[in-house]
Amino acid sequence: MSLFEDYFDLECRACSRLSDFMNGVKEDYPDYHCRPVEPFGDPKADLLIVGLAPGKHGANASGRPFTGDFAGILLFRTLYEFGWSSAPESLHRSDGLTLSRCRLTNAVKCLPPENKPVGAETRRCNPFLAAEIATLKPGNLILALGGIAHRATLMALGLRQAEYQFGHDNLHHLPTGVNLLDSYHCSRYNTQTRRLTPAMFKEVFAHAQRLLNQQ
């Protein structure tokens, strides 16, 4: 039984394009998870980190968000430095790593072709994210990694995109009392092009820590 069954469905096949794609990947890689990827971390988290979607050879393979691909290297190292992770590297689902006061989730729970979900898929998956966000309390924080995660978060809350513009390290005070903090996604492309550097990522997490310490 999942700790997150109120806002996650391992058997969901609502998006036929994603389901068909995962079935094809499963044929090529029989040991891969190739199912919706559940959130990972503390059920009582006050920091919810929202990513884009599982990576083909990352979470789609391992079954744990940000585990097995490049994006997770910087993320878990940074979480460890700030005390949210018990280890600096996420290896696999049974490696014993735990998160404290922090949880990882994705805007879209299934692997999309070319890591690009279409709008209908983001909308169809959005009720899961909305239910997860509803568990947060005033003063808690959502960290959106990338524009799609930012927009999916606002959609889940029924808020207008135009009133909350995405930008790296932008902070938004939401009507629910929960705060939304943005960061460029820690993808291979962003880090290799230096759109996002480790120092920039650390600054966002330092900002997050300051906000949560004010609760």
Number of domains in the chain: 1
pLDDT (0 to 100) of residue 205 = 98
pLDDT in tens, 126-166: 999 999 999 999 999 999 999 999 999 999 999 999 999 99
Asked if residue 33 belongs to a domain, the reply is yes
pLDDT of res. 3: 79
Q: What is the chain's mean pLDDT, rounded?
A: 96
Whether 3 is in a domain gets the answer no
C-alpha dist (Å) from residue 30 to 50, 57, 61, 67, 190: 28, 12, 10, 18, 30
Residue 1: pLDDT band (50, 70, 90) is: low
Token couple for 86? 């018990």
Range of the domain at 168: 14-213
Q: What is the DSSP track for 51-115?
A: ES---TTTHHHHSSTT-SSHHHHHHHHHHHHTTSBSSS----TTS---BSSEEEEESS-SPPGGG
Q: Quick check: is 198 in a domain?
A: yes
**Per the domain annotation, does 151 fall within a domain?**
yes
**Which of the 8 DSSP states describes residue 46?**
S
Question: Does any domain span residue 8?
Answer: no
Q: What is the pTM of this model?
A: 0.97
**Is 2 part of any domain?**
no
The CATH number for 122's domain is 3.40.470.10
Residue type, 195: R
CB 44 within 8 A of CB 138: no
Phi, psi of 79 (to 5 degrees): -60, -40
pLDDT per residue as tens digits for the range 7-56: 899 999 999 999 999 999 999 999 999 999 999 999 999 999 999 999 99
Q: What pLDDT score does 2 carry?
A: 72
Q: Give domain status of residue 75, yes or no.
A: yes
In this structure, what are the phi and psi dihedrals at residue 104, rounded to the nearest 5 degrees? -105, 135
Residue 61 maps to a domain: yes
